Structure 1
Amino acid sequence: MKHLKLLAAILLFGANTFAQTAPPSDPGTILQELKKLDVLGSVLYVAAHPDDENTRLLAYLALEKHYRTGYLALTRGDGGQNLIGNEQSELLGLIRTQELLAARRMDGAEQFFSRANDFGFSKGPEETLKIWDHEKVLGDAVWVIRKFRPDIIICRFPTTGEGGHGHHTSSAIIAQEAFAAAADPKRFPEQLKYTQVWQAKRLLLNGANFGGNNTEGPFRMSTGAYNTALGKGYGEVSADSRSNHKTQGFGSAKQRGDAQETFRIILGDAPKTDLMDGVNTTWSRVKGGEGISAELATIRKNLDIEHPEKSVPALVALLKKVEGINDLYWREQKSKGLIDLILACAGVWTESYVTTPSVALGDMMNIRTQVISQYPNVKLDTVTIVQGQTKIFDDIIESLSPLAHKGKTLQVNQVQTFELKEEAGKITQPYWLVAPHPIGTYVIGNGQSNNANALAGEIFDIGNPENWEAPRARIVLAINNQLITVDRKLMYKYVDPAKGEIYQPVAITPPVTANIINKDYVFNTQQPQTVQIKMESFTNASGSISLKPVAGWKISPERIDFTDKAKGAEWVASFTVTPSDGKQKVSVLQAVVKTGGKDWSLGIQRILYDHVPAITLFPPAETKLINVDLKTAGKKIGYITGAGDLVAEALMQVGYEVHQLTEADVMNADLSVYDAIVTGIRAYNVNPRLAVMQPRLLDYVNKGGNLVVQYNNPNGLATSNIGPFPFRPVNQRVTDENAAVTFLDPTNPVLNYPNKITQADFEGWIQERGLYFVNNIDPRYKSILQMNDAGEQPNPGSLIVGDYGKGRFVYTSLVFFRELPAGVPGAYRLFVNLLSKPR
């Protein structure tokens, strides 16, 4: 029984695995679910990033054809740019994970991921697959296929490079290899303790046009149908789904009417009349399924949409039959669908929530579970709280806190409320961020997925978009004497005066968190700096905070004690840090909290946007100490915000007085007071008012000012006249962060004042050198640097400088928005030079 229970948990892998607040129960949903119960087919779409998926096709397959439909995005989009905030890297990946889940809630598909990290733009699959760790990411794709068991697999990109991005091409290569490997018992045999080999019928390429390179195939299918149950067509559903990708600025117009998709066969036999040619998608594909389709047809024929409760007895009887079939995969899938349908028709609503937004590990959660039924024959069997974990080669360990109300009949239209307490059992850290990771892949478990014992420790994590073991309430009901189990994820529920009832994830936290206030501390003298740590207590706590000793630095005091801090208390601990050896270096400084007999080195970070649930994570309580030979000139900087970056904060770290400039400031204030004005990344893409401000900014330069413009995407510019003389941003970049840099104009002031820039200043850069370089450069500009990726021509478009009137204009495509927050010393030295016009 233990292994059956474990296998059932694996088979429920996917979006429906995660307990949720009550799903919709409107007539349209009931009709859709009835149709879906009669279809036994599945499709997996594979690509590289959030936004790569074809949302119209996903919606059509899931909501019109009623296949179980999934999207495997190999990455979480961590390496892109953020158009709505300043989150980068892993933080951006967290937001984009939630954007994808929001998209799937609209188009009806499920969401999966591999451990691959989006490390930024890659020009080819050779680089990508090497950095990702080809074998591990392939193993993840095989694992998803073996668990999801798709009848057909669809790629978004070809293996021949038309997709333009090395990640895109690699996703197609991985899909093609996984198609065969999933069916081969010699490939990733350690997985077969928990699942079985699976052979999909065919692998197809979904045609598209990539920059004029057409990959359309001969098989065509219309996906522009209108769904009367939804009251919209799939072009409308697709736009709603895609518009969730807000960090990428992908709000989409709704398309109506007929639309065609094309497909090309990659592996398997080609479809002739239907994508599912040769696949049995009826109940006859499973032993014991005889008669189920006929019973569903009768239920649909007799459905009274104004009184769906009349269908409950027939649905309950059908559930008993479905639970008796031998095919465990389809039994679990269809039983879950039937249970949701029974609850919807019976008008049974249930949820479970905690009364505080966060609970410290080990403290008791106060949980309120509510149930209401519109159907007379419903009894409450039990309510328990489940916190799942894994145990090597064994069963699911569940913490169960039973409620003694067995057999209680629910009165029609009467809310029943039950209070429970359960100990918070595991910090709600996103599973892929628990351990430090290399550039290309997240570390899951202990990161040794080819080892059987290691795999058992990570088995439930791989592929999942979120932590599968988040605490949930398990409500067991008896409807017409049939036991039905319902899981609801524990949420924090509150009422906002303006927005009404709000649900957010509950955070299980360390007892005390320590947030070092600055991400970096930049030293350019032997003078000490004060390192402040914002402390936050999530329980009643006493203990101490200290900074781990670091060679070459003096830290005082040794520790700071705290006593009887109440839950919710916040305070600041301050330490003095002084360079002690005078060497230029970057060191990691770690804070350690001792409380309750344990050491903790975690901060807390909350990401709040209206379009996704609140995200809480616990990053390491660390900062960087950067001792750099840095001279500065000037003091006052004006900053015009772009798409979101942390450059202004980095400049304040080295002593600049930074003022965020509004349009009113630019148009009406005296700009001559600023030693330099800087525009944030993609400012000319996201702020159309810069077309109005541009004459004032160029006038500022003409009269002696120093304007520094950071990179912009060539598409959607507010004005084509960014500088005083012509140049053109283009889609050219240098992705190798270690690419050699040639000084084209070594005597130029930006390489000499106030800091002498050398080759050493380009060491230690991260992710890339630059993006959206410029060409067609007017000769009145000086190109300062030249660089290129391997096998490409030298590119002089990363940094140009031009004198205009009495002032200086600088345009740079170098990725200072990545390098400065990462604490790269040379990036600080060069950027300060860009701000420092000799007088």
Structure 2
Amino acid sequence: MKRLLPLTFTLLIVCSRAFSQTAPPSDIGSIKQNLKKLNVLGSVLYIAAHPDDENTRLLGYLAQEKHYRTGYLSLTRGDGGQNLIGTEQGELLGLIRTQELLAARRVDGAEQFFSRANDFGFSKNPEETLKFWDKDKVLGDMVWVIRNFRPDVMICRFPTTGEGGHGNHTASAILAQEAFSAAADPKRYPEQLKYAGVWQAKRLLWNTFSFGSVNTTSPDQFKINVGGYNPILGKSYGEIAAESRSNHKTQGFGSARQRGDAFEYFKTILGDAPKTDLMDGVDVTWNRIPFGAGIATKLNAINKAFNSDAPQASVKSLVDLLGDIDQTVATNKAFQTVRLTEVANSSYDYWHKQKTKELKDLIAQCAGLWFEAYAKEPVYAVGDKIDVQLQAINNGEIPIKLFGFENSDTFIGHADSTLKKGELKNWGYTLPAERVSQPYWLESPRSLGSYAINDDKKVGNPENPDAPAIWFSFNIYGKTLRYKRVIDYKYVDPARGEIYQPLEITPPVTANIAEKVYIFNSTQPQTVQLKLKSFTNVSGSINLKPVNGWKISPAKIDFSNKQKGDEWAAAFSIAPNDTKTSTAQLQAEVIANGKTSSQSILDIRYNHIPAITIFPPAEAKLVSIDLKTAGKKIGYIPGAGDLIPESLREVGYDMHILNENEIANSDLSAYDAIVLGVRAFNVNQRIAYQQPRLMEYVKNGGNVVVQYNVNNGLVTRDIGPYPFNIVNQRVTEEDAKVTLTDQQNPALNYPNKITDADFNGWIQERGLYFADNIDNKYATPLQMNDTGMAPNKGSLLVTNYGKGRFVYTSLAFFRELPAGVPGAYRLFINLLSKPKN
């Protein structure tokens, strides 16, 4: 399948915009590192499947010690994993992990890339992975990144032979091998060649590893010592790696700083094998381009003369060097006589663009030039004007003149201002708010395995490459230099100080439906509440689109004269026509100032990443279920975070979050059941002391339901009244056959009769981290397995203990209930409902 590229063109640019500021750091350490990098013309691309797969120590070494242009291509954004700090799942988790990866790259110095692949959950083999991902499209994304980034060396984290365990891991290596050759083949993805030339990397290596019991390294493999110390940064690469990896907070990957020698091992997969150096056979000096030797000589002189106490003294030489590089292009007749596309695809042109950008940034750093663009307000609606504040200051002695500003290719104003030392200059402009600031990979509905990208040239970018920005034009020593600054919003938080966050451009009105899922077990109507918010002055109406088989009233609700920032509520009544089990999609539609939209607003806020705001479809799921419930009051002990309490409230349960004091001292018999959140025995250090009290509750007639835990890092292995082990066994096929092996078990009969049909429509997986070595006092009423695997009975354990009942389940209820899966609701209600004796 060929991938069509729109006619409009946006160059693939990876923006490593700092969380804490819009201008790059200009400390002496950064300046010295950037001076060294100017003299290196080599690049390395590291490839794996997920956030956290990357080798941060190796990335830091390549970027900060060897000064190669270093990138990490994570095929997915980590959407299918678990979240240890919140309840976000799916693409919401992927948004957080995207920002965690960008934070990691700001530490280790590498750049970040992605494909359109979606992390749909654990996969046992690469065949399943490639089927869901759409191999051709994801391979095309990798080829696109390679052709733009032009790595001299490509490195895989995982092998094609399966030692990486996860099917996604193995698939990433399979695709990397094919992309290595495909990127150099003009017959593969030829539509890309309008914008990027073919590229052949020198070699593809596998970065072998020793993880737990799996050791793929050997003494005869090529190796490099990446454990050195960088005196300019004041850190070893083991320390840098730990700081980088510790940004993966949703995965609980806080890491200890490592010091001393550390070797990384490599096997050659394709291309020439390295013998003495990773870049054997690759000229990483200025000699790799025509007339580069002269540039290297001048750059070496600049480095030798650099004075840390007076970096501005190097500015004139750096500006002259920039002119020399530009002049080389202008006077090189060999490049003038070939076709334009060949010029654009030449190695010279690539390194000219890359080193020109680095050199321009270095000039601003040495000159003490600081400037930024920010909006006066955090939010603007499409069609309104953005009030932009521009600031610049010359902190050094170099004469600098600011000519003016541009937005994209449009000139927006003259400044014609000489920047005097220490004088902060301000300018104000207005720009049109043209497009909703939705992440480009979320603009259209996705499939199970991949995102739908409307503009293929945006692929690879971690964030929107066309976010509103201002170009500043300066004159320094007679040379015009243009710089881009993305428009952010900044404010002062009393506890955290000055904060920058992305500018939000919104629909005129958003409509949030109160619940994501509405559960009906009769034809009685329910009230659907909507929260509306205006982001401009507006009048219009709100309605719920008609749904076949459901009654909705009223037809619409009008609103008028709403001002920017106003919030109000609207309520509709909805009911199914009958009690048959069914599901449907409910969509809210807003007509505002004559224009129709159907978007809600969702904010994600964590202190370790920038604020995230997206605009999902204004939708909810309607589910009609033949559902019986028993009991009313449920206690809940939090784990790593799930939406089980909200899901149970939706069907009428009184949910109470239990704290430690209540577990120890209150009358637990008041609860019909107590549920433990996912991974509670991994993340709640006090649960080991609370477990005897819970077992006492069960013995006296209570009902405890424990959701899945992982086998590593358990605070106690005494989870239930009788022994069992937790192992890393899963059933990842969401439609895997489930056999009811004990059809008379009360858990399958009260208050709902569970049948095979209750396992239809599950999402992502059946379950994870199943039980094994199960004491025979437990009943195991379910059995299931993935294709080609042995039957597994460890997904559901039920036992009577004293007067009560204990349940341990590895079934993925934390995914199924928020998704409104009817059978999952029926089974989970049964687990909460111990029959009366």
TM-score using structure 1 length: 0.95
Q: For the Cα contact (< 8 Å) 1:114–1:140, is it kept in 2?
A: yes
Amino acid at match of 2:389: R
- The code of the aligned residue for 1:365 comes to I
Superposed CA offset, 1:493-545 (max 9, x none)? 00111111111111100000000010111011111100000101100110000
1:458 pairs, out of 456, 459, 481, with 456
Q: Deviation digits for residues 699-744 of structure 1, max 9, x if unmatched?
A: 1101100000000001111111000100011000000111111111
Q: How many residues align?
A: 809
1:223 pairs with one of 223, 226, 233: 226
Give the C-alpha shift of residue 425 in structure 1.
Answer: 1.2
Hey, what does 1:150 align to over in structure 2? Answer: 151
Distance 1:307 1:329 in 2: 32
Matched, 1:492 2:513: no
Question: Equivalent residue for 1:426?
Answer: 435
Contact 2:552 2:572 in 1 (8 A): yes
Alignment of 1:314-353 (within 5 A): 314-326=317-329, 327-353=348-374
Task: Output aligned runs, 1:525-544, within 5 Å.
Answer: 525-544=522-541
Shift of the alpha carbon at 1:473? 1.4
The 2-side partners of 1:9 and 1:621 are apart by 30
- Mapped contact 1:540–1:564 kept (Cα < 8 A): yes
Instruction: Kindly indicate whether the alpha-carbon contact (under 8 Å) linking 1:8 and 1:328 is maintained by their aligned counterparts in 2.
Output: no
Which residue number corresponds to residue 375 of structure 2? 354
Q: Deviations over 1:267-314 (max 9, x none)?
A: 011100000000000001011323111111111111111111111100
Q: Secondary structure at the match of 2:283?
A: coil
Q: Which residue of 1 aligns with 2:244?
A: 241
CA contact under 8 A between 2:15 and 2:463: conserved in structure 1? Answer: no
Task: Tell whether 2:321 aligns with 1:303.
Answer: no
SS in 2 for 1:781: coil
Match of 2:742 in 1: 745
1:561 equivalent to 2:582? Answer no
Using a 3 Å threshold, how does the CA distance of structure 1 residues 674 and 569 change in structure 2: closer, same or farther?
same
Shift of 1:583: 2.1
Compute the displacement of 1:659 (Å). Answer: 0.3
Distance across 2 between alignment mates of 1:153 and 1:299:
32
Q: Is the 8 A contact 2:641 2:677 kept in 1?
A: yes
> Offset at 1:548?
0.2
Is 2:105 the counterpart of 1:108?
no
2:400 is the counterpart of 1:381: no
Counterpart residue type for residue 421 of structure 2: V
Q: Distance in 2 between matches of 1:420 and 1:19?
A: 24
Q: Please tell me the residue identity of whatever aligns with 1:443.
A: A
The residue type equivalent to 2:27 in the other structure is D
Aligned counterpart, 1:450:
none
SS class of match (1:382):
strand
Deviation at 1:801, TM superposition (A): 0.3
Distance (Å, rounded) in 1 between the aligned partners of 2:321 and 2:370:
21
Alignment correspondent of 2:384: 363
CA offsets, 1:456-500, max 9 Å, x none?
Answer: x432x1111110000011111111121111111111100111111
- SS where residue 129 of structure 1 aligns? helix
- Structure 2 residue aligned with 1:412: 421
Residue type at the aligned position of 2:74: A
Query: d(CA) in 1 for partners of 2:9 and 2:505?
Result: 27
For the pair 1:754 / 2:751, whether they are aligned, the reply is yes
Within 1, Cα distance between the matches of 2:21 and 2:438?
A: 18
The AA in structure 1 aligned to 2:379 is S
CA distance in 2, matches of 1:30, 1:7: 36
Contact 1:63–1:107 (CA under 8 A) maintained in structure 2: yes
Q: Give the letter aligned to residue 514 of structure 1.
A: A
Q: Map of 1:438-837 to 2, 5 A cutoff?
A: 438-445=447-454, 457-459=455-457, 461-837=458-834
The question of whether the paired residues in 2 share the 8 Å contact of 1:205 and 1:263 is answered with yes
1:441-463 CA-to-partner distances (Å, cap 9, x unmatched) read 10011xxxxxxxxxxx432x111
Counting only pairs closer than 5 Å after superposition, residues 64-143 of structure 1 correspond to structure 2 as: 64-143=65-144
Contact 2:41–2:68 at 8 Å: present in 1 too?
A: yes
Which AA in structure 1 matches 2:380? V
Identical columns (%): 62
Residue 194 of structure 1 aligns with which residue?
195
AA aligned to 1:130 is: K
User: Matches of 1:528 and 1:45 in 2, distance apart?
Assistant: 55
Which sections of structure 2, spanning at least 5 residues, go unmatched? 1-6, 330-347
CA distance in 1, matches of 2:512, 2:15: 34
Q: CA deviation at 1:212?
A: 2.5
What amino acid is aligned across from residue 311 of structure 2 in structure 1?
A: P
SS in 2 for 1:463: coil
Kindly indicate whether the alpha-carbon contact (under 8 Å) linking 1:526 and 1:582 is maintained by their aligned counterparts in 2: yes
Q: Which residue of 2 aligns with 1:395?
A: none
- Structure 1 counterpart of 2:456, one-letter code: E
Which structure 1 residue ranges, 4+ long, deviate > 6 Å from structure 2?
Answer: 16-20
- Displacement of 1:13 in angstroms is 5.0
Query: What amino acid sits opposite 2:405 in the alignment?
Result: V
Aligned to 1:453: none
Name 2:3's counterpart in structure 1. Answer: none
Paired residue secondary structure (1:632): coil
* Whole-angstrom CA distance in 2 between matches of 1:185 and 1:343: 39
SS in 2 for 1:21: coil
| Residue identity matched to 2:351 | W
Change (3 A) 1:216 1:189: same
The amino acid of 1:28's aligned partner reads G
What is the CA distance between 1:12 and its match in structure 2?
4.5
TM-superposed CA distance for 1:15, in Å, is 4.2
Which one is further off, 211-220 or 731-740? Answer: 211-220
Aligned to 1:280: 283
User: Structure 1 pair 183/17, CA: closer, same or farther in 2 (3 Å)?
Assistant: farther
Q: CA deviation at 1:672?
A: 0.5
Whichever residue aligns with residue 168 of structure 1, its letter is H
Instruction: Please give the alpha-carbon distance, in whole angstroms, between the structure 2 residues aligned to 1:367 and 1:17.
Output: 19
Equivalent in 255, 260, 264 of residue 263 of structure 2: 260
SS of residue matched to 1:349: strand
Q: Distance in 2 between matches of 1:541 and 1:7?
A: 33
Q: Could you tell me which residue of structure 1 aligns to residue 345 of structure 2? A: none
SS at match of 1:177: helix
SS in 2 for 1:800: strand
The question of whether the paired residues in 2 share the 8 Å contact of 1:17 and 1:468 is answered with no
Retained in 1: the 8 A contact 2:76–2:116? Answer: yes
TM-score by length of 2: 0.95
Answer yes or no: is the 8 Å Cα contact 2:782–2:796 preserved in 1: yes
Kindly provide the CA deviation profile for residues 209-233 of structure 1, in whole angstroms up to 9, marking residues without a partner as x: 2442322251010001110110000
Summarize the Cα distance change of 1:466–1:80 in structure 2 as closer, same or farther, 3 Å threshold.
same
Q: Distance in 2 between matches of 1:97 and 1:132?
A: 19
Alpha carbons of structure 1 residues 432 and 201: separation in structure 2 relative to 1, 3 Å: same
Q: 1:292 aligns with which of 288, 295, 314?
A: 295
Measured after TM superposition, the shift of residue 582 of structure 1 is 2.8
Residue 591 of structure 1 deviates from its aligned partner by 0.2
- Secondary structure of the corresponding residue to residue 802 of structure 1: strand
Q: CA deviation at 1:20?
A: 7.2
